[in-house]
Amino acid sequence: MIKRSRMNRTVPVQWYVQDIFVSTVVVVGPDSLYVDTYLRRLTSTLRASYSNYEIVVIDNNVKPEELEDMKLLLSELPCIRIISLSREHDIDTAIFAGLEAAIGDYVCTLDQTLDPTEVIPDMVAANEEVDIIQGISTAPVKGVMGTRPGRKLFYWYNRKFMNIDISVNSTYLMAFNRKAINAITGSNRDHRHIRHLARVIGFKLGTFPYTPISNPRKVRSLRGGVIEALETITSYSTHPLRVVSWLGVIASFLNLIYAIYVVVINIVGKNLAQGWTTTSLQLSGMFFLLFLGIVIISEYINRILSEQRNDQKYLINDEFSSTVSIADTERKNVTK
């Protein structure tokens, strides 16, 4: 008997090979190293836990030598598929490429540099009770100096105004059952952010605290963070438009009061000085609101144009598979 942590509680679980199909999605990119070693550990974990499994590796512009090392594993280890994207994409797009390719009853997404393979049985066990499991790092997520306050502000805005509660230490370690996968991959959004979409679809979601291999770190410039925040907010909420609308209403009301004030003063007043300061403040305030509105509206127009183009989210350049693709060749329910 061993102990597994399910949804923040510890319960005794008998270790045995389960008759379920588990897919794992591993995204590797230009900074990935020793991927073959990680895939060996992942295979060992899956083989000891499940009668059927697959490893879907998304080549998101990985180094050529790493790709060659992975391809050598295909003749040695079963149930591995390598999907090479035509160019490097953001992490969310690469994960969706893996989710759309996975055929398992349960699907886990992992970061090769952060996520230990040993957590998969616990994640899947929790996923049997809850549709979506979100990994939460017990170590703080680091980043470029000065960006953490911005991340906290962004997640506060999501929680306060978009009703999307995401922990500031959430990672891309996630687990989904087939029902949740079908709902998420069925989205036709141009900008698909997996952690946001997982909460928008309305399925039951739980958290899974774990200790990562190394301290999580997001390498992103201030400009990149602002652009991603704008994309996310405008993709999942109309709240900024509503804010601008209310600002416009308030500004119009104040402007009306000021106009009445000007008329009254001109009727009853004598020897009035030129109102240069007041006029300048009024014009400054109006132009501020005007350009703020233009910025927000431009972002939504950008989203509309992106959706209308209906471009391919990603293109697959090549695909490689192990000589043995299914552990249990007698299994029938291996399609979506």
> Mean pLDDT per 10-residue run, the chain (336 residues)?
39 64 95 92 95 95 92 93 93 93 95 93 93 92 65 80 84 95 80 85 93 71 69 74 75 73 69 64 74 75 66 78 68 50
- Helix axes of 222-236 and 276-309: crossing angle, nearest 10 degrees: 70
In a domain, 202, yes or no: yes
In a domain, 215, yes or no: yes
In a domain, 64, yes or no: yes
pLDDT value at position 12?
Answer: 40
Bridge partners (DSSP) listed for residue 59: 28, 84
In a domain, 54, yes or no: yes
Q: Which domain covers residue 131, as residue numbers?
A: 2-236+313-321
With a CB cutoff of 8 Å and minimum separation 6, the contacts of 45 are: 117, 118, 120, 121
Contact 91, 119 (CB under 8 A): no
Task: Give the global pTM.
Answer: 0.73
**What total of structural domains would you count in the chain?**
1
pLDDT value at position 214?
Answer: 77
Which is it for strands 106-111 and 170-177: parallel, antiparallel or unpaired?
antiparallel
- The DSSP annotation for 76-133 comes to TSSSEEEEEESS---HHHHHHHHHHH--SSEEEEEETTT--GGGHHHHHHHHTTSSEE
> Rounded distance, CA 106 to CA 102, Å?
9
With a CB cutoff of 8 Å and minimum separation 6, the contacts of 42 are: 24, 26, 55, 110, 117, 120
In a domain, 255, yes or no: no
In a domain, 298, yes or no: no
pLDDT value at position 311?
Answer: 59
With a CB cutoff of 8 Å and minimum separation 6, the contacts of 117 are: 38, 41, 42, 44, 45, 46, 110
> Rounded distance, CA 83 to CA 70, Å?
11
pLDDT value at position 145?
Answer: 55
Whichever domain contains 136, its CATH number is 3.90.550.10
pLDDT value at position 123?
Answer: 94
In a domain, 159, yes or no: yes
In a domain, 306, yes or no: no
Give the burial class of 56: count Cβ atoms within 10 A of its Cβ; 0-12 exposed, 13-18 middle, 19 or more buried: buried
